[in-house]
Structures are given as C-alpha cells and as structure tokens.
Amino acid sequence: MKLVVYGPEKRLGAWLEDGSVVDLNHAYASQLESKGEPHAYIKADAEVPCCLQAFIEEGEAGLKAAKKAVEYAKKVKVGLGGLELIHNDVKIYAPLPSTATRIAMAGANFYDHSADVSKMMGRPTTIEEIKKQVAAGTYNAWGFWKQARNVVDPDAKVPYPARTQRLDYEVEIGAVIGKKGKDIEERDGESYIYGYTIVNDLSIRDGPRTGGPDGFFFAKNFDGCAPMGPFIVTKDEIDDAYKLKLKQTVNGKVRQNGTMENMIRKYPWWISWLSKDMFLYPGDIICGGTCSGTALDTSPVLDGRTKPDNFLKVGDVLEATVPGIGSLKITIVEK
C-alpha cells in the first residue's frame, strides 16, 4: 500500500494507481457502518486512525483493516450519508509520521559514492579496498541526524541557504520503523521495518571535508534540507529493497543513477547499531545513504575548494526517483 498524507486536513490516505486517494479512516468507518456495526466511527478511529503516526503504531492489524477499506471504497466510491471516500486532485504532503520522528542518516554507506569521494579528496580508495575493510571490520560506521522540522513536502520550494555557495543533493531511501525496540539483534532488524520512502539529503558542501563553514550540524540541518515523499510504501509491496534503483535529475539531466545493490551495510545493521542503549520508535526513519553522482563526488578540488559547476543553483528543479516508491520533485529558490 502507498500511504499518503493529503490535504487540507492532512489526513491519512492510500494512493491509487489512477492518482486518486482513498481516505482510509472514512472508508473503514463506512464499511463497518454498512455491516451494521455499532459505533462504527469510534471503532474506525481506533483501528484505522486518520493520523499517519497512530496508524503506523497499529501495525499489521491496521494494515489488514485498511486493505479491506480500500477494496470497499473502490466498489462504492461514496459511503453512507454521502461521504466521499475517494478524492482527486488533492495536495500531497510529506509522509512524516510526527515532528517527534527521528531521522537517522547513514554516512558513506555506498561503495561507489564512498570510492568517488575518496578519489575527489586526493586519497583514492577503490571499491575492492573498501570491501576488504568492511570484511575486516575496519570500515568505520558514522552518520548524523536530520531534524524532523526541516522536512518539506513534494513539490516544495526550498530556499537556498545563506551559509553556502555549494549546495548538494543525495537521493536516499528511508526505512520507516514500525515497532518499538532497543538492543535489537541484526538478524531481527528486517522485522522492524514498516515501509520505505524517498528522502533527498540536501547538504552544504563549502569545505573540502564536506562540511559547511559553521560545522557539520549546520551543513546537514537547515530549512528544507530534507524533502520527503511522496509516499510511504509498505514493506509487503517491495520484493527486495536492496535491488531498487536510485535516480536523481537536475533540470531533467541525470546526475545520480545507481542501485541499492551498492549499499555497504543494510538496514538491519543500522537498526542494530542505532538501537544499542536507545529505543527506536514507530515512525522513526533510517536513511541508508546515497549512490555516486552527487555534486561533491563529481567535483575536483582546486586550491582547497571544490569546483562549483555541479552544485545546485537558484532555479534548479530536482527530481529524485525510486521505481516502486515514487518520484520526489522540488525547486531551489532564493532565500
């Protein structure tokens, strides 16, 4: 199921292939009411809530009920009392479960991107050498957090940050956590994944070491730095997340064209690593990193600074695409 948050009340919906949206809560309530269930709307609010965060917390039971609601809505279109169950031409918002959502970003987690960045920085390391480091346990894991309030919607206009003259892009797949857990074993990690969404990791890159002039936190956190969406696709609809393709275009020109097969450490590893001594909660998101083709890894360093040509400019239109999940488009505008 492709879950969306749609307007104007930012309710939970299911995206249909014709571009329409089923209001899951209303559809389930109407289905229950059609069967003569007492307190249908109260039950629907509990079992298929209209809030994305609450729905994720319902887990498999909520998804099972929602699937029945979608089939009912397709048949009747309009519920009892004339309530519309399917909507067209609606505003789609980022599928951010909550402003309490923690967004973890895996660093240097693709073989091709890591090798290209090392070459750009003048200390070339081949993919084969990185694989040997991973096998030997000497390839260091690192990452950072994106703040939920920096998430923006599909088709957003993202202001160009004043701190930078080199704004970068990274198409990533975010794994959405579906249940609470701590000290999770890697072998159990997949069972904690609820679904997947697209995140475009926008970054300030004014230093040759990839950080901005005011440090790494500000290089990765500013208004609009985390475009997200348009959907959360539930895990059951993805045959193999580690074979998905990644593509990023800028003004229609392909910049990134990679595959999740180049991912160094898969999501269960990160789930285990992050959950040591810290609970992960439903709605938290772990982004697995990006493939080669970013402005950083395609820009040589000249006189201590990356050449600016491939970095983003005001007016640029970005589209991050993952077949099976969707396409996420944004535009860079003046601050």
pLDDT digits (tens, 9 = 90+) for 267-308: 999 999 999 999 999 999 999 999 999 999 999 888 778 899
- The mean pLDDT value of the chain amounts to 95
Partners of residue 198 on adjacent β-strands: 173
Q: DSSP for 73-97?
A: HHHHSB-GGG-B-EE-S--EE----
**Domain boundaries, given as residue ranges, for the chain:** 2-93, 103-333
- Interval 208-230 mean pLDDT: 84
Q: Which residues contact 223 (CB under 8 A, 6 or more apart)?
A: 150, 152, 158, 159, 161
DSSP β-ladder status, 157-159 and 326-333: parallel
pLDDT digits (tens, 9 = 90+) for 15-63: 999 999 999 999 999 999 999 999 999 999 999 999 999 999 999 999 9
The phi, psi pair for 130, rounded to 5°, reads -65, -40
Q: If pLDDT is split at 50, 70 and 90, which confidence band does 210 have?
A: low
DSSP β-ladder status, 92-93 and 317-322: unpaired
Cβ contact 250:316 at 8 Å? yes
Cβ contact 225:212 at 8 Å? no
Cβ contact 271:283 at 8 Å? no
Task: Assess whether pLDDT exceeds 70 at residue 212.
Answer: no
Q: How many CA atoms lie within 13 A of 73 on its CB side?
A: 25
Residue 161 and residue 153: Cα distance in Å, rounded?
Answer: 18
Task: Look up residue 116 and give its two tokens.
Answer: 């290209």
Q: Quote the pLDDT of residue 208.
A: 47
Identify which of 68, 75, 76, 80 has the alpha carbon closest to the alpha carbon of residue 14.
68
Q: DSSP for 306-326?
A: E-STTSB-TT-EEEEEETTTE
For the chain, what is the radius of gyration of the CA atoms? 21
103-333 folds as Fumarylacetoacetate hydrolase; domain 2 (3.90.850)
Q: How many residues does the chain have?
A: 335
